[in-house]
Structure 1
Amino acid sequence: MNLNNITVLGSGIMGHGIAQVSATAGYNVVLRDIEQGFLDKAMEKIRWSLDKLATKGKITQQEADSIYSRITPIVNLADAVKNAQLVIEVVPEIMDLKKKVYAELDSVAGKDVIFASNTSTLPITEIANTTSRPDKFIGIHFFNPPQLMKLVEVIPGEKTSHEIVDLTLEYVKSVKKESVICRRDVPGFIINRLFIPMVHEACYMMDRTGATMTEIDSAVKFKLGFPMGIFELADFTGMDVIHKATTEMYLRDKKVILPHPTIEKMFDAKKLGQKSGEGFYKYSDDKYERVALSEEMAQKCNPIQLVANILNNAAWLVSNKASDIEEIEKAVFLGLGLKKPLFETAKEIGIKNIVNELKQLASKHGKFYEPDPLLISMQ
């Protein structure tokens, strides 16, 4: 199949970003939303983004105009998918809403049209089975913002055909992104299965060790090679996103995450992080400010509990044939910005020490912490 026409459903930050990268790669794109006002705003943002690239000399003004002209905003769903070969759905992460959208989409899209859901945690197989084409349904998880982030997780459902997987990987490559395949449709896929539980674990670590937020963040940044601290990263991501992902993942797999009450409390109090002016830290305005972290503070904190958490989840992905070490390292490098491979850090700390830490945590705090068989075999 020669892919030329793409429809993006949902024109928010992710939707208009995916529309822009697709049009930049030469695809004809229809951007669809339920109100014209949403589409007008999205097209303004795309225009601004392309003009900025032209001003910086990354593309010519002529290229910017040409890319913009390849995106057509349409409100009517049947019209929006009339010529589509691939529909990328980017509606909010609410299962009932997604199912409602797909019921409507399935009835108006041609039988050969491929459906791809840009979900970060919801199960692909469950959504796919609500349509008449589970073999033509796939997960395609872009990271925010799609214009800048290189990583795309590709998640086949149980019935997704090999042809659709290959075509999706080709599409990801054509929009100049790097793909990792999550080979099994597991809660959280790869990145969120590693990142979201770590935020909760950092809260437990603060309770249990008495380390301060900035000490933990400094250790995460300077000892573990993260681009920023874990609390800082949570604020940057948004507590609404983290809370939603937590709820969905925990609902489907109690082994993946041990929810800390702080996250829900912050979500309920609208302390969403940078976007609301306060999360774990306070922010004074819209401008992105970095939290003051230092190597000196990092020395006061041993982050082994956090390493044990992220590594146990990584090992679970390998043991359950959802991924392998190489793909996980590629994912954390591109998706979380890790400057040092995860398993390299683990070897420096000592796999034996990590397994012992997990065993101690399990004896004090329950089965959640039991070490994965892979880690035990790596000692």
Structure 2
Amino acid sequence: MSVSINKITVLGSGVMGHGIAQVSAMAGYNVTLRDIEQSFLDKAMEKIRWSLNKLVEKQKLSQQDADKIFARITPVVDLKTALKGADLLIEAVPEDMNLKKKVYAEVDSFAEDKTLYASNTSTLPITDMAALTSRPERFIGLHFFNPPQLMPLVEVIPGAKSNAGMVDMAMDYCKKVGKQPVLCKKDVPGFIVNRVFIPLVHEAVYCMERDNASMTQIDSAVKFRMSFPMGIFELADYTGLDVIHKATVEMHMRDAKVIFPHPKIKQLFDEKNLGQKTGKGFYEYKGDKYERVNLTEQEAATYNPIKLLAVAANNAAWLITNGVCDRAELEKALKLGMGLKKELFATMQEFGPQNVVKTLQELAAKYGQFYQPDPYLVSYRA
């Protein structure tokens, strides 16, 4: 299946939708951006204009190019009109299976035979979504990271019936829009990055309780001793506790063994303390400016983050054992999607693989199955 993609329709004009529309237009594609209300579209187009103007200010684009890119994006409310002539549809509506069901039923009644389907989801099963449509073999997951204009990674996830041509098309499209795709070979809960990241947030809360450690102690250790771009609580606040809670529920529903939820995440979600965006999550924030939490190497020295490292490495090992990706692709995804400054397995090497396995065995004996060390870790040799 060799397809040429010229016209792209993006469904949903929120943060992800308008970001995907912008990067596609910047790569030369003609884009139709569709949402259910004109006011949503007006807001999205304003944000795209603002983002392009920023690039002009930074002299990364000429005004003339920015105007051309902007002109390639057509906002449309009517779905039938939006799908006319589309080679590729990228759905970026909110992460709710019932909503997706409704959207795909409508899309299916209007889409032309040639249109290929992609969903920008961070956790929902691709195979289940594909089954809602009349073309499961021409359906794929494209998980862009937030914000799409800046984040280099896209996880490409085939469903059980996606054909090989869809994988080639998706990888090719990602490269054309200047992204680095990583193929997630199996449609598993959390795909690659969230399979490592989401359980880690819960583990950090357990560490705080079990080790009687403070948030800044844990965060300092995660940043300076595990080479993360920021602390794990800080990263959770930055991502949004709503995003983390929804991903947790979804992953747990698909396979209870892949995550060990701590009730604190749901509590913060229920209290609408969603992190940076609401002014309070794990930490409190003042004003609109993004503030960094004060983390220091001195404080990092007061806490050993081996339990967090062990859980991250164990989930990473699970991905390798289950044939979701190989170690090189895993490390690439964690570097680009989570901003790890050093490879996860290189960090594990520093702490000692046998110490990591021993930590997991002790945790498993005390707290259960979730911590059982993966065979890849048990037999790990650098």
TM bin, normalised by shorter chain, reads: over 0.9
Superposition pairs for residues 164-313 of structure 1, below 5 Å? 164-313=166-315
Aligned to 2:12: 10
Q: How does 1:1-379 map to 2 (within 5 A)?
A: 1-378=3-380
The residue identity in structure 2 corresponding to 1:168 is: A
CA distance in structure 2 between the aligned counterparts of 1:373 and 1:96, rounded to whole angstroms: 37
Stretch deviating more after TM superposition (59-68 or 101-110): 101-110
1:367 and 1:26 map into 2 onto residues whose CA distance is 50
Query: What per-residue deviation string (whole Å, max 9, x for no partner) do you get for residues 102-125 of structure 1?
Result: 111011101221110000000000
Per-residue CA distance 1:300-324 (angstroms, 9 max, x = gap): 1000000111111101001110111
Matches of 1:125 and 1:112, distance apart in 2: 20
* Matched length: 379
* Alignment deviations for residues 345-367 of structure 1 (CA, whole Å, 9 cap, x no partner): 01111111111000000000011
Shift in Å at residue 64 of structure 1? Answer: 0.3
Whole-angstrom CA distance in 2 between matches of 1:231 and 1:2: 43
SS in 1 for 2:219: helix
Question: What is the alpha-carbon root mean square deviation over aligned residues?
Answer: 0.6
Separation (CA, whole Å) in 1 of partners of 2:379 and 2:54: 51
Q: Which amino acid aligns with 2:32?
A: V
- Structure 1 regions of 5+ residues with no counterpart? none
Counterpart CA distance in 2 for 1:225 and 1:355 is 20
Any idea what SS the aligned residue of 2:257 has?
coil
Secondary structure of the corresponding residue to residue 8 of structure 2:
strand
Query: Take 2:325 and 2:161, find their aligned partners in 1: how far apart are those partners?
Result: 18
State the 1:76 CA deviation. Answer: 0.5
Please tell me the residue identity of whatever aligns with 2:140: I
- Calculate the TM-score normalised by the size of structure 2: 0.99
Which moved further from structure 2: 87-96 or 104-113? 104-113
Query: Residues 105-156 of structure 1, C-alpha deviation per residue, up to 9 Å, x if partnerless?
Result: 0111012211100000000000001111000000000000000000000000
Q: Which runs of 5+ in 2 are unaligned?
A: none
Secondary structure of the corresponding residue to residue 152 of structure 1: strand
Task: State the distance in 2 between where 1:378 and 1:54 align.
Answer: 49
Q: For 1:244 and 1:24, locate their aligned partners in 2 and report how far apart those are by CA, in whole Å.
A: 31
Which amino acid letter does the alignment assign opposite residue 108 of structure 1? F
Tell me the amino acid that sits aligned with residue 270 of structure 1.
Answer: K
1:110 aligns to what SS in structure 2? coil
Which amino acid in the other structure matches residue 136 of structure 1? R
Alignment partners' CA distance in 2, 1:255 and 1:210: 26
Which whole-Å CA distance do the structure 2 matches of 1:203 and 1:255 have between them?
18
Q: Deviations over 1:48-87 (max 9, x none)?
A: 1111111211100000000000000000001000110000
Equivalent AA in structure 2 for residue 199 of structure 1: V
Question: Secondary structure at the residue paired with 1:165?
Answer: helix
Q: What CA distance in whole angstroms lies between the structure 2 residues aligned with 1:173 and 1:367?
A: 40
Q: What TM-score comes out, normalization by structure 1 length?
A: 0.99
Shift of 1:265: 0.4
2:288, 2:90 → 1: CA distance?
30
Q: Distance in 1 between matches of 2:57 and 2:376?
A: 51
CA distance in 2, matches of 1:73, 1:371: 50
Give deviations 1:211-267, integer Å, cap 9, x for gaps: 110000000000000010000000000000000000000001111110000000000
SS at match of 1:122: coil
Tell me the distance in 1 between the aligned counterparts of 2:114 and 2:85: 11
